[in-house]
Chains A and B, each alone.
Chain A
């Protein structure tokens, strides 16, 4: 188990190194930089280059960049002098996070529930409903779902605010938009795994022992069927993060995703790099956490890791 954890940690560090090197190469290998504006005077350009260390040789810049990165310094904006990437993340990420965890909870709670109900009512109304929702979730991207939800529930019916303010109610539509595709994925997977578990011998044994349906579902079916869901939590988390870039734009949430889009427009390279590295780190760490948690939760894995090599 310890060897496995160390291996995974090393992989995570390697991945982070690859990503930061890649971003560095991209930032410097391409001809464009934020100071190619023809209106800038050559002296000003030179001064700006010196200020941001762009006049040093590339290898030296790389060392400085990596050193800063290890210290947790993601650099400062080139368009708005004095604004550091870290501060920006600190102020805007909590807003994205509050949206993200709500979406995750919606997706998990309703996805699991729908999946189990569908499997227990195999080829009945509930089953078809869950398949329908799964297909909808896969086929309607958030760039379309968002505006449509905003129109019908926000404008026509007036149940929810269309843009996000400080109220809890205003978070409903964006969280729903963000969570629906994950909800669909979860309910689809939960349905198949539950069906699989229901066909196992130990379920028949439990039935013949005279256990009640509730007990069978709660003690035997759920515990076994839920395991595969944990493995997809990592990728799901990543999907929520990239998804929130769009959802925040639709519902005008002043979160990190919305900010990311605007920095792309402004071609503020250090900002783009910094936020990308931040997102990547977040995703890698969450995937690592999920994988390690899986090792601890599933007794079969724990035993085989100990008894095996």
Chain B
């Protein structure tokens, strides 16, 4: 350490400066600014926030893009373009028509298969094998209606390799005059026989996410569905929260007997899961967006009311409330001007957590057939339609599934982040 020489003159009394000590050096942070600062530090929550923003913007803009480019709407059907996928291919489906020649282990048949594998093949006898290439009904998928039958006779001198040569040669012969078809190949690998039709692959530039069973554009329907799902969720959560705030605020502030009665009502209503009420109520209404919202609001407000009541009970003996009471403010003013603004933090967290629940509830209802009626396209409706033909066209389920899961995922993570940011007491 360096030796520092200090003498008496270095310690001079600077005197009192009351003004300077009162001065606030940094700008004071309001509750919301402080919360925002904390939220910004939370990378997961911020990423979720931006994902949600993108999803919401796409829901607003998506249908407009495809409408202006191609004139699609969520209900416009085009039966010539059914069940298209994102990556198109003109490889043809293939199926075994008749077979006297070999034994094989049962293969799982799959609709529109361009490749089949016969496992554990064994030569059995001589005779005829025939395959069907393409299908007349497959116009939308293949771009043409061509259908070919490939037949080969097997005689007793044939071995596996000569049979495969025959099959390949025959394939080339019957497909020679088809320009956009790249052929068919037969291969023997170990004890399996693999048959594959080849074709060109290209990006589906007209339907980016493919089409559904009625040839409706899935890109348009997905974002149109987003509009409906978000709309239902946002409006229901908003109304639910307002009602819950009033109910909980009054119950918590007034306390006593009124609080007892109001809380018993909630307890009774909360005992049975919302979904049962929802189903029961919806059975008696005609399907539509409005009934769903009414039902979701009717069954969703209890949680918010409880949270608000708890917060109000905690805050109603604070100094600022007592001060307001002394100054002669009435209950309405105290609840609205003093208590509610101070419970906004937990309310906002609760709202963020409610939105995915509402989206899930809507999807659930649409899935069991009580949701948004056709031809509307909420995410639940899309998932329901996709689930029906999932085995043939997985993309029709996977696309809305990703949208729903991503939204629920992001809202949950954002809600966690908001809770940490808005309620510093809960932080570890």
* A residues at B contact (CB < 8 Å): 11-12, 14-15, 18-19, 22-23, 26, 30, 32, 135, 138-141, 143-144, 146-148, 150-151, 155, 158, 235, 238-239, 241-242, 245-246, 249-250, 260-261, 264-265, 267, 269, 272-273, 276, 279-280, 283-284, 287
Q: Which residues of A contact B279 (CB under 8 A)?
A: 245, 260, 264, 272, 276
Name 29 A/B residue pairs within 8 A (Cβ), A-sorted. A11-B271, A15-B271, A23-B280, A26-B280, A138-B408, A139-B356, A140-B401, A143-B364, A143-B383, A144-B397, A144-B401, A147-B386, A147-B390, A151-B391, A155-B391, A158-B108, A235-B273, A238-B273, A242-B276, A246-B367, A246-B368, A261-B369, A264-B370, A276-B280, A279-B272, A280-B276, A283-B272, A283-B273, A283-B276
Query: Is B157 part of the binding interface, using a Cβ–Cβ cutoff of 8 Å?
Result: no
The list of the 4 closest CB pairs from A to B, nearest first, reads A139-B409, A242-B275, A144-B401, A139-B408
Query: Is B288 part of the binding interface, using a Cβ–Cβ cutoff of 8 Å?
Result: no
A93 to B409, CA, bound (A): 33
Q: Are B267 and A265 in contact (CB under 8 A)?
A: no
A58 to B16, CA, bound (A): 85
- Per the 8 Å Cβ criterion, residues 258-272 of B in contact with A are 267-269, 271-272
Instruction: Give the interface SS of chain A, mostly helix, strand, loop or mixed.
Output: helix
A11 to B390, CA, bound (A): 46
Smallest Cβ distance from A235 to chain B, in angstroms? Answer: 8
Q: Are A32 and B284 in contact (CB under 8 A)?
A: yes
A-B contact count (CB 8 A): 115
Q: Which residues of A contact B280 (CB under 8 A)?
A: 22-23, 26, 272-273, 276
A272 to B278, CA, bound (A): 12
Query: Is B405 part of the binding interface, using a Cβ–Cβ cutoff of 8 Å?
Result: yes
Given A26-B280, A147-B390, A272-B280: A141 and B363 interface contact (C-beta under 8 Å): yes
Query: Is B63 part of the binding interface, using a Cβ–Cβ cutoff of 8 Å?
Result: no
Closest to B269 in A: A18
Smallest Cβ distance from A254 to chain B, in angstroms? Answer: 16
A155 to B390, CA, bound (A): 11
Q: Are B364 and A30 in contact (CB under 8 A)?
A: no
A245 to B272, CA, bound (A): 15
Smallest Cβ distance from B263 to chain A, in angstroms? Answer: 12
Q: Which residues of A contact B398 (CB under 8 A)?
A: 148
Taking a contact as CB atoms closer than 8 A, the residue among B380, B394, B409 that contacts A143 in the complex is: B380
Query: Is B404 part of the binding interface, using a Cβ–Cβ cutoff of 8 Å?
Result: yes
Can you add 19 more A-B contacts, CB < 8 Å, to A245-B279, A264-B279? Answer: A12-B271, A18-B269, A26-B284, A139-B406, A139-B408, A139-B409, A143-B364, A144-B383, A144-B405, A148-B397, A155-B108, A239-B273, A241-B273, A250-B387, A261-B369, A272-B279, A276-B280, A279-B276, A283-B272
Q: Are A143 and B272 in contact (CB under 8 A)?
A: no
Q: Are B272 and A280 in contact (CB under 8 A)?
A: yes
Q: Which residues of A contact B405 (CB under 8 A)?
A: 139-141, 144
Q: Are A147 and B387 in contact (CB under 8 A)?
A: yes
Q: Are B283 and A141 in contact (CB under 8 A)?
A: no
- Per the 8 Å Cβ criterion, residues 339-370 of B in contact with A are 356, 360, 363-364, 367-370
Q: Which residues of A contact B384 (CB under 8 A)?
A: 143
- Per the 8 Å Cβ criterion, residues 227-284 of B in contact with A are 267-269, 271-273, 275-276, 279-281, 283-284
> 0/1 per residue, B279-297, Cβ < 8 Å to A?
1110110000000000000
A135 to B413, CA, bound (A): 9
Q: Are A143 and B387 in contact (CB under 8 A)?
A: yes
Closest to A192 in B: B428
A112 to B172, CA, bound (A): 61
Q: Are A246 and B364 in contact (CB under 8 A)?
A: yes
Query: Is B197 part of the binding interface, using a Cβ–Cβ cutoff of 8 Å?
Result: no
Q: Are B412 and A139 in contact (CB under 8 A)?
A: yes
Smallest Cβ distance from B83 to chain A, in angstroms? Answer: 16
Given A283-B273, A284-B271: A141 and B404 interface contact (C-beta under 8 Å): yes
A141 to B405, CA, bound (A): 8
> 0/1 per residue, B375-397, Cβ < 8 Å to A?
00000100110110011001001
Q: Which residues of A contact B387 (CB under 8 A)?
A: 143-144, 146-147, 250
Given A144-B383, A144-B401, A261-B369: A26 and B273 interface contact (C-beta under 8 Å): no
Q: Which residues of A contact B272 (CB under 8 A)?
A: 15, 19, 238, 279-280, 283-284
Q: Are B412 and A138 in contact (CB under 8 A)?
A: yes
A151 to B397, CA, bound (A): 11
Q: Are A151 and B394 in contact (CB under 8 A)?
A: yes
A239 to B405, CA, bound (A): 19
Q: Which residues of A contact B412 (CB under 8 A)?
A: 135, 138-139
Q: Which residues of B contact A269 (CB under 8 A)?
A: 283
> 0/1 per residue, B411-428, Cβ < 8 Å to A?
011000000000000000
A242 to B397, CA, bound (A): 22
Closest to A239 in B: B273
A146 to B271, CA, bound (A): 27
Closest to A267 in B: B283
Smallest Cβ distance from A151 to chain B, in angstroms? Answer: 6
A1 to B283, CA, bound (A): 41
